[in-house]
Chain A
Amino acid sequence: MKSIKFAAIAGAAVLSIAGVSHADTLAKIGESGVITIGHRDASIPLSYYDDQQKPIGYSVEICQRVAEAIKTELKRPDIKIAYQLVTSANRIPLLANGTIDIECGSTTNNAERQKQVSYLPTTFVTANRLMYKKGSGISVIADMKGKTLVSTSGTTNIKQVTQMNADKNLGINITTANGHSESFLMVETGRAAAFAMDDILLAGLIATSKNPSQFEISKEALSVEPYGIMVRKDDPKFEALAGGVVKDLMKSGEINNIYSKWFLNPIPPKNITMNVPMSPNLKKVITNPTNSPDPAAYQ
């Protein structure tokens, strides 16, 4: 009798733990009084450090609006915003384990990642392209035969070029680097012939480099990459709240102001202008917000 009772209590305890597998970010923020925003260090102009090591950028600003909305929703103006640097490799694990509450960088939305995390409506559409030095004779990926291609570890780009290289037998020597700045350094010093990355990030790295005119971005796009802000999976309340903020920005047209601030005007730290007008793909997304992982939805 006693052992059955014990088993019943233990069973109920285990089941209740299993039951609490839904993340509840709003409750966590309420309890801790802190919203932790995950950001990048060199994803210009979406999420990067200015010269004071403060995180700024297009995605960061959108997340700051979300944070304000959370403070209003919870009626807690005392809630603080903390910033946590993440990398391509650790952004998903840190989101899943609760170190960050929202990831505001340059993260591609795809079906595989949606098994681990959820995305807010797409806020930017980019394409995977090659960057190389002018005069290197490279213009399409097939020109890379026998040459060294670098990409950043933990990105969709490295996975994609590895698979492409194997499927199409391109004969490229693929190497990885730990961050976007390092990958760029490898092309700059001549260790790698090209760097495969999302074109907006390439444009940002080139614009802020010592000698921008020596680099070129390929016209050929290897894939279409929709960027979205990441939040934890199975947390409908938080996703609805944050997603609602993004949708409102798009409906009201405020997103266009944020876009011009970061893509069409001079930005810190060097006051360079990216000069990237809004692509028709992004305009389409703004009229019809979506967080679909399917690249076809963005063509």
Chain B
Amino acid sequence: MNYNWNWLVFFDLEPGATGTYLSYLFGGLGWTVMAALASWILALSLGTLVGVLRTLGNPVLEKVCFVYVELFRNVPLLVQMFLWYFVLPELLPPQMGDAIKQMPPPWASLVPAVLCLGLFTSVRVAEQVRSGLSAIPRGQKMAGMAIGLSTWQVYRYVLMPIVTRIILPPLTSEFLNCTKNTSLALTIGLMELTARARAMQEFTFQVFEAFAAATLIYFMVNILVVLLSRRLESRLRIPGLIGSDSSRITAGH
């Protein structure tokens, strides 16, 4: 293989004269983190809402939530990105469509990316929340109702605290997926970490160096998330409660 290694390429200046390639990649990391956090906040709030609504027992709500979940779950994320970026402005009334299309980059790419990723991840969070709620024995909800709590109070004081602790590990996975999925936004023009690694590769032809750096940065960020999540888990743990001790199967009541 005739490859010409050059690890010093990170100190070369990138063509847009914003600094070295290293600072260029870290700039991309900033966009990745921004997109990931914004979509995660959207996903968590919307997903929890939808997950809870599905368990209330109202058949109309359940159908609506079912359609919502299946719609976003069954279309590939990349297709969804294109739909949000190219198709949505055409479907809206011309004034709104034009206003959207006139947004300068990078916001023109960030906003559809966050909306798309947020909604896509929200349905996965909704399913996690729904399974968490189904895992809690029925007796909990009934006991709550029996002592006179309203539905909102039962969820707020009894069910959701348990659910949150149960689904924290899979939620961490979802957050990691969300962070990694931000790389798909490169197809709609967002210059996040993967897009910048590709640009660096195209400008310098140093493909291994560029992608080694991107891989390392993604890995570090994700490991950080995992460590923070483990800390959160241990701090929130309620001993004796279902899901509190993942290393021992405890029967809940």
A residues neighboring B (CB under 8 Å): 21, 23, 88-89, 92-93, 96-97, 115-116, 146, 148, 153-154, 158-159, 162-163, 165-167, 173-178, 185, 189-191, 233-234
**B2 A23 Cβ-Cβ under 8 A:** yes
Q: What is the size, in residues, of chain B's interface with A at 8 Å between Cβ atoms?
A: 30
User: Nearest residue in B to A98 (C-beta to C-beta)?
Assistant: B1
A166 to B202, CA, bound (A): 18
Task: Select the residue from B102, B104, B105, B195 with max chain A CB neighbours within 10 A.
Answer: B105
**B89 A116 Cβ-Cβ under 8 A:** no
Q: Is B187 an interface residue (CB 8 A)?
A: yes
For A166, give its contact among B16, B89, B189 (CB under 8 Å).
B16
A146 to B102, CA, bound (A): 11
B residues neighboring A (CB under 8 Å): 1-4, 15-18, 86, 89-90, 98, 101-102, 104-106, 108-109, 187, 189, 191, 195, 198-199, 201-203, 205, 207
Given contact pairs A92-B205, A153-B202, A166-B17, a sample of 17 additional A-B residue pairs in the complex whose CB atoms are under 8 Å apart = A21-B2, A89-B198, A89-B201, A97-B1, A115-B205, A148-B104, A148-B105, A153-B198, A159-B15, A162-B15, A166-B16, A173-B105, A176-B195, A177-B189, A185-B86, A190-B98, A191-B89
* A146: chain B residues within 8 A (beta carbon): 104
Given known pairs A96-B2, A159-B203, A189-B90, the reply for A175 and B16 (CB within 8 Å) is no
**B104 A173 Cβ-Cβ under 8 A:** yes
**A189 B101 Cβ-Cβ under 8 A:** yes
* A234: chain B residues within 8 A (beta carbon): 2
**A116 B205 Cβ-Cβ under 8 A:** yes
* A154: chain B residues within 8 A (beta carbon): 202
Tell me if A's interface is mostly helix, strand, loop or mixed: mixed
* B89: chain A residues within 8 A (beta carbon): 189, 191
* B203: chain A residues within 8 A (beta carbon): 159
* A97: chain B residues within 8 A (beta carbon): 1
A167 to B15, CA, bound (A): 9
